[in-house]
């Protein structure tokens, strides 16, 4: 892939680095939109092979780099600022040879002597600016703190506004346009990270489907190849009353469900994708921090019980959330 390096007119150049999970990357699209709407700029992104699909079709990104060891040698752009959006010492090392006036990131999560030394050393340099990360506010609001500092530094504060929407782009879907949703349709995602209990237990999925069918809604159940046995069991039990779809490619999944209205899922990357598609999200949480990681959308309801156990949530909790959405839409 070829990249454009020259500065066009008076446009500023910014580099964003995001090298963690898919959901975090989707939330970064809001940061990119805010930066683009506030400045005349070229925005480049350094990501990973795991999360690049969140950025692949973003129309506000000039150049998308997938993480590799030659990044510093390949990139010859002069940047006004580099934003490091996850607290990793490795990301700071990747940009050692990149020309920039400012490096802006959250205060490093200091877990090693090496990280602590790097942090103390660079705080003495005017080039580096560390902003405290607040676990009691949403990830997008923490990102906004970085952007607020840059807005003061580069004089675009009067144009900066907090965007309260998520964005997920595909080759044929732009979440900034008004796409029609089927009001009687529900997607249930049964995939998720088993190690951190970010998935809906199978028995709960069955109960949710049974109760949603009573509401006479169309149901699509989705998952990845590792969920195939569970999906086959659901199809055997419910027959033609539901549809199922299995795919590990996120764009294929999105092409199947973006026109549905409701998205039911455990906390995870696909939940943030659904929010970025303007869907009404019902997120089931185990012990994750809802304040920091809820879907970045006004159309979201998060479910978590007092014991922070996803196994103790019920189908009744989910149905109440759907009915709450429907009541608010009627009013």
Specify the pLDDT at position 7: 41
Specify the pLDDT at position 258: 92
Q: Is residue 208's pLDDT more than 90?
A: yes
Specify the pLDDT at position 26: 98
Q: Is residue 4's pLDDT more than 70?
A: no
Q: What are the pLDDT digits (tens) for 71-85?
A: 766 677 899 999 999
Q: What are the strands, taking DSSP E only, across 117-247?
A: 128-131, 182-189, 218-223, 243-246
Q: Is residue 310's pLDDT more than 80?
A: yes
The pair of structure tokens assigned to 285 is 């949480």
**Residues sharing a CB contact under 8 Å with residue 220, sequence separation 6 or more, in sequence order:** 185, 186, 187, 188, 242, 243, 244, 245, 256, 257, 260
Q: Which comes out higher in pLDDT, residue 203 or 70?
A: 203
Tell me the mean pLDDT in the region 16-22: 94
Q: Is residue 151's pLDDT more than 60?
A: yes
All domains in the chain, ordered by first residue: 12-159 (3.40.50.2000), 182-330 (3.40.50.2000)
Specify the pLDDT at position 286: 94
Q: Is residue 9's pLDDT more than 70?
A: no
3-class state of residue 282 by DSSP: strand
Q: Is residue 195's pLDDT more than 80?
A: no
Q: Which comes out higher in pLDDT, residue 109 or 129?
A: 129
Residue 69: pLDDT band (50, 70, 90) is low
The helix (H) or strand (E) run that includes residue 31 is: helix 22-38
Specify the pLDDT at position 44: 95
Q: What are the pLDDT digits (tens) for 218-245?
A: 999 999 999 999 999 999 999 999 999 9
Q: Is residue 210's pLDDT more than 90?
A: yes
Tell me the mean pLDDT in the region 188-200: 88
Residue 5: pLDDT band (50, 70, 90) is very low
Residue 10: pLDDT band (50, 70, 90) is confident
Q: What rounded mean pLDDT belongs to the chain?
A: 91
Angle between helices 315-330 and 202-214 (to 10 degrees): 40
For residue 110, the tally of other CB atoms under 10 A from its CB is 15
Least confident of 3-12, 46-55, 170-179, 281-290: 3-12
Tell me the mean pLDDT in the region 97-117: 85
């Amino acid at each position: 892939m070829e990249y454009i390096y020259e500065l066009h007119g008076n446009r500023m150049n910014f580099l964003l680095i995001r090298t963690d999970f898919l959901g975090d990357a989707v939330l970064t699209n809001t940061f990119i939109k805010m930066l683009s709407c506030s400045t005349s700029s070229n925005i480049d992104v350094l990501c990973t092979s795991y999360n690049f699909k969140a950025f692949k079709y973003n129309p506000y990104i000039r150049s998308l780099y997938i993480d590799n060891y030659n990044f510093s040698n390949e990139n010859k752009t002069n940047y006004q600022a580099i934003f490091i959006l996850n607290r990793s010492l490795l990301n700071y090392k990747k940009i050692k040879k990149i020309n920039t006036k400012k490096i802006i990131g959250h205060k490093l999560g200091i877990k090693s002597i090496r990280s602590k030394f790097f942090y103390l050393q660079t705080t003495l340099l005017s080039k580096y600016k560390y902003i405290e990360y607040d676990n009691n506010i949403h990830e997008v609001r923490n990102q906004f703190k970085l952007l607020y500092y840059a807005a003061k530094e580069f004089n675009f504060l009067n144009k900066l506004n907090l965007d309260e929407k998520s964005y997920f782009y595909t080759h044929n879907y732009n979440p900034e346009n008004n796409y029609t949703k089927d009001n009687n349709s529900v997607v249930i995602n049964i995939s998720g990270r088993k190690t951190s209990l970010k998935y809906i237990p199978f028995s709960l999925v069955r109960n949710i489907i049974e109760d949603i069918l009573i509401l006479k809604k169309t149901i699509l159940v989705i998952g990845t190849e590792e969920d195939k046995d569970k999906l086959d069991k659901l199809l055997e039990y419910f027959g033609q009353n539901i549809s199922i779809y299995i795919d590990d490619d996120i764009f294929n999944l999105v092409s199947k469900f973006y026109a549905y209205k409701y998205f039911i899922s455990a906390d995870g990357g696909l939940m943030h994708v659904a929010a970025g598609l303007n869907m009404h999200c019902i997120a089931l949480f185990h012990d994750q921090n809802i304040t920091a990681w809820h879907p970045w959308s006004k159309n979201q309801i998060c479910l978590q019980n007092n014991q922070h156990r996803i196994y103790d949530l019920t189908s009744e909790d989910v149905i109440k959330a759907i009915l709450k959405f429907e009541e608010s839409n009627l009013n």
